[in-house]
Amino acid sequence: MNYNLQLLKEVLSVPTKTYKEDRMVEYLTTWLTENNIEFFVDAYKNVYATKTDNIVKDENFFYPCVVSHTDTVHEINEIFIQESELPNAQDELKSSLFALDGNGKPTGIGGDDKCGVFACLTLLKELPNLKAAFFVSEETGCHGSLKANTGFFANVGYAIQFDAPENWMVTEKCFGQVLFDRDSDFFKVCDKVLTESMNQNFMEYMVHPYTDVYALRKSFDFSCINFSIGYYNYHTRNEYVVIEDVYNGIEIGKKMIELLGYNLHYKEKKDNSKNYSLWD
């Protein structure tokens, strides 16, 4: 489990805030161009990427799709990445990253959800057939994903988002949307990977406030899941990222895709969000 630490630092160094995602969008489009990955940007500045090989794709072929959001809650600042030993959720000291501004003061590193952005880029680089969606303005209500491009998702079989803190959380219900059925092959595969890869004394299926897979479940007939990607103290100036937890989140996503394959993991769409408060 050895991923590109320099790329992680680069992504975390990009300043971005809700409604001010231009620099992150520019970073993504440059990276995708340099890596010869097909993409387009919609009118809302959502970025959609498709990595494909030359295998024959018929009506029974469905892409896995990985998901992250390009905004953070932090003000636009210069970001200087620092390394330190900081505690994970199990209170073990681990190699970690945090951020200082131009005045040497702590500033939010924006692991929520730049760690997710890094995870999506890493899997685009490694896997032969994959879609990735990078949505704007999640932090104030999933504005980008609620306007998701329907054509892009027409041949998506399931979605995996990397947007939960620490290293033990799995989203089962999000803003009223049940993301998957427990009696499905999708759940059986994902649960197997999660139980083998997360600390069993801590892993928990949870009800979370919104993230982008809530919006996708509201609009499309495929199963979704969201889980931890290694950021801590999120939405604060003392936010930090545990490198091992980021890498493990990527490994979990990769194993899920390898086992779920290029299939449609159907779940009927249902809009329950109007019946729930922010915290369900």
* pLDDT score recorded for residue 276: 37
Q: How confident is the model at residue 272 (pLDDT cuts 50, 70, 90)?
A: low
Range of lowest pLDDT (162-171, 188-197, 262-271)? 262-271
Give the angle 50-52-223 at the CA atoms, nearest 5°: 60
Q: How confident is the model at residue 59 (pLDDT cuts 50, 70, 90)?
A: confident
Rounded mean pLDDT, 35-49:
98
Backbone angles phi, psi at 130, to 5 degrees: -160, 140
- How many Cβ atoms from other residues are within 10 Å of residue 19's Cβ? 12
* pLDDT score recorded for residue 278: 35
Q: State the pTM of this model.
A: 0.95
CB neighbour class for 93 (10 Å; exposed up to 12, middle 13-18, buried from 19): exposed
